[in-house]
């Protein structure tokens, strides 16, 4: 029976006759003005549950904040419980939720990236200067990695990025009203098609190139997932295809690992190479719909994709472009699926795995942007071409995101298996002036920290694990003799503490306690080792399992820095 069919009469006490209790509204009341504004804002857009985050973005973009009245009106409009909408909105860092009784958010927000690379270049000092130099209409807040580590420090004014930021540059951007992103030059649809683009897709769709032949090409080249896990691409596609349909495809563009900039680089230079690889993957696994999840810190990439997808010929799978909202955890594949479904980005327990039960409960192919970017070249040029690259008995190419104390930072396309010393000398122009090589992160925030003396290890999948490290997404951060390795490890642990989804105790509490212990003048090695082991063993997902890698490697490889000689005595 529906609720509309139920009639509830007030209780009548004997002797009161027909007098009824005073009617009191129950639950959260909807403000008529807020309801009208939400209705107008959503227009003819569907009110589906999976579009909740997209609708929250509409409110945030329009009003610069999300009020309690708008949250209640949105919940009513989407036929959701207020608690569902509230918990989702407050989970993501880019939604500024104003609770009842709180003052409005300042009209302009300045986000200062405080990731490791930006911190090396004075982000903390810059943030203090901005807080002391801006007026009441400006809010200055910390931000996790914005994916622009090669131009550190980076500040975001509204949605406009100030690279190599300093106080005068940021204040000038504020004064001049630069609050929207700049669009880079890139290869558009016409230029890409004129250079042979989409011919491979046509061959696959026409049957000229069979599914088996294409998968064999990926296998022969040993193309692996380049988002960090390194799972063989051909094997993943086969696994999804082996599940009963219907099937879906999801793109992991939530590149949030501090130090990683490669996906943004490829999207902002040659986006159709990624799009073609994506459409080929969808055809192989017979996915009728593709959900492209892109982090909110990449507004230029999102605009490029929206423009260029609109130019594609009709036919093929339905494409959905979804916008993240500032949550590093959504780079974890199952948390990514939860976010696409409009929920908090909480990792799922496995099994079942996403290729079995993924997006909306269907078998789902999940690929990283760079992985798909390479599909065309690998198939057209052949496995022999791909395998002709590589050093130190490794094969293929890697996109190394290099930041820190080198002369030339950025994405360096280099042979897989190159050593960090070779990478610095041959691709980065050497160390920055006045700096000597001291330490490096081979795989971003969670990949550990190694000393310069260990500069001859091939940088590739499977070569770093025995040292307590891994290559991950190949984000290489270079530290010099002027940098504090202990401070670097603490910066990373604070990042993980902030970005923990909070679902499991080992990660939620472990990162917090580790950060507190690491702020002590002398580290308690026994307690930190025990805490690290608990986090590795018991955390639900890779964030908690790998969060202690920088801590553990500093203890192992930098004994003089984690335990000063005078303290040891």
CA–CA distance from 538 to each of 90, 228, 505 (Å)?
Answer: 26, 21, 9
- What pLDDT does 23 receive? 44
Residue 517 has pLDDT above 70, yes or no: yes
3-state secondary structure of 486: helix
At 429-476, the pLDDT tens digits run 999 999 999 999 999 999 999 999 999 999 999 999 999 999 999 999
* DSSP category for residue 3: G
| Minimum mean pLDDT range among 99-103, 184-188, 255-259, 404-408 | 99-103
Confidence of residue 10 (pLDDT cuts 50, 70, 90): very low
At 189-237, the pLDDT tens digits run 999 999 999 999 999 999 999 999 999 999 999 999 999 889 999 999 9
Say whether the peptide bond before residue 153 is cis (omega within 30 degrees of 0): yes
| Minimum mean pLDDT range among 22-31, 112-121, 137-146, 496-505 | 22-31
Residue 376 has pLDDT above 90, yes or no: yes
Residue 11 has pLDDT above 50, yes or no: no
Confidence of residue 125 (pLDDT cuts 50, 70, 90): very high
- What pLDDT does 181 receive? 82
**Integer Cα distance of 139 and 110 in angstroms:** 6
**Integer Cα distance of 308 and 303 in angstroms:** 9
- What pLDDT does 562 receive? 66
Residue 8 has pLDDT above 80, yes or no: no
Q: Are 99 and 82 in contact (CB under 8 A)?
A: no
At 82-123, the pLDDT tens digits run 999 999 999 999 999 999 889 999 999 999 999 999 999 999
Find the mean pLDDT for residues 20-38: 74
Confidence of residue 561 (pLDDT cuts 50, 70, 90): confident
- What pLDDT does 44 receive? 97
- What pLDDT does 565 receive? 53
At 300-354, the pLDDT tens digits run 999 999 999 999 999 999 999 999 999 999 999 999 999 999 999 999 999 999 9
Q: How many residues does the chain have?
A: 569
Q: Which two tokens stand for residue 290?
A: 């593709």
Residue 563 has pLDDT above 90, yes or no: no
Residue 156 has pLDDT above 70, yes or no: yes
- What pLDDT does 16 receive? 41
Find the mean pLDDT for residues 8-14: 35
Residue 371: CA count within 13 A, CB half-sphere = 30
**Integer Cα distance of 403 and 413 in angstroms:** 14
Average of per-residue pLDDT values in the chain = 93
Residue 24 has pLDDT above 70, yes or no: no
Using a pLDDT cut of 90, give the percent of the chain over it.
90
């Amino acid at each position: 029976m529906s609720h509309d069919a139920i009639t509830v009469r007030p209780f009548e006490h004997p002797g009161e006759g027909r007098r009824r209790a005073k009617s009191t509204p129950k639950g959260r009341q909807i403000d008529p003005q807020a309801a009208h504004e939400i209705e107008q804002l959503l227009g003819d857009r569907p009110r589906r549950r999976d579009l909740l985050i997209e609708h929250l973005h509409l409110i945030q973009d329009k009003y610069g904040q999300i009020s309690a009245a708008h949250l209640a009106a949105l919940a009513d409009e989407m036929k959701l419980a207020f608690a569902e909408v509230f918990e989702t909105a407050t989970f993501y860092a880019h939604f500024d939720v104003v609770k009842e009784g709180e003052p409005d958010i300042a009209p302009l927000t300045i986000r200062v990236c405080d990731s490791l690379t930006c911190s090396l270049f004075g982000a903390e000092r810059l943030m203090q200067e901005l807080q002391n130099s801006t007026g009441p209409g400006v809010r200055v807040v910390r931000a996790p990695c914005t994916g622009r580590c090669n131009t550190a420090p980076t500040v975001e004014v509204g949605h406009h990025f100030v690279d190599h930021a300093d106080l005068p540059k940021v204040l000038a951007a504020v004064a001049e009203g630069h609050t929207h992103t700049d669009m880079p030059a890139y290869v558009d649809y016409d230029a890409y098609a004129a250079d042979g683009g989409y011919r491979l897709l046509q061959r696959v769709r026409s049957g000229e190139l069979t599914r088996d032949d294409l998968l064999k090409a990926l296998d022969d080249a040993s193309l692996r997932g380049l988002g960090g896990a390194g799972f063989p691409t051909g094997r993943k596609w086969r696994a999804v295809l082996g599940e009963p349909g219907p099937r879906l495809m999801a793109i992991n563009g939530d590149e949030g690992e501090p130090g990683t900039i490669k996906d943004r680089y490829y999207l902002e230079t040659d986006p159709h190479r990624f799009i073609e690889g994506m459409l080929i993957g969808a055809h192989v696994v017979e996915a009728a719909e593709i959900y492209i999840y892109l982090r909110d810190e990449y507004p230029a990439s999102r605009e490029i994709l929206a423009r260029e997808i609109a130019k594609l010929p009709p036919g093929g799978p339905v494409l959905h472009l979804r916008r993240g909202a500032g949550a590093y955890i959504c780079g974890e594949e199952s948390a990514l699926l939860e976010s696409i479904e409009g929920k908090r980005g909480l990792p799922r327990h496995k099994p079942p795995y996403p290729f079995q039960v993924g997006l909306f409960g269907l078998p789902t192919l999940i690929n990283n942007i760079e992985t798909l970017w390479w599909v065309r070249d690998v198939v057209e040029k052949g496995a022999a071409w791909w395998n002709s690259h590589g050093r130190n008995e490794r094969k293929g190419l890697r996109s190394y995101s290099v930041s820190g104390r080198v002369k030339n930072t950025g994405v360096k396309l280099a042979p897989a298996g190159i050593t960090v010393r070779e990478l610095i000398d041959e691709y980065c122009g050497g160390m920055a002036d006045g700096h000597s090589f001291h330490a490096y992160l081979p795989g971003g925030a969670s990949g550990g920290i190694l000393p310069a003396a260990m500069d001859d290890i091939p940088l590739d999948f499977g070569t770093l694990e025995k040292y307590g490290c891994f290559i991950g997404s190949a984000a290489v951060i270079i530290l010099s003799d002027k940098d504090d390795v202990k401070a670097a490890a603490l910066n990373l642990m604070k990042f993980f503490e902030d970005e923990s989804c909070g679902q499991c105790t080992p990660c939620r509490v472990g990162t917090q306690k580790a950060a507190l212990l690491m702020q002590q003048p002398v580290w308690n090695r026994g307690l930190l080792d025990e805490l690290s082991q608990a986090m590795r063993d018991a955390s639900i997902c890779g964030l908690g399992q790998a969060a202690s890698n920088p801590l553990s490697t500093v203890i192992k490889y930098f004994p003089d820095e984690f335990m000063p000689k005078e303290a040891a005595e």
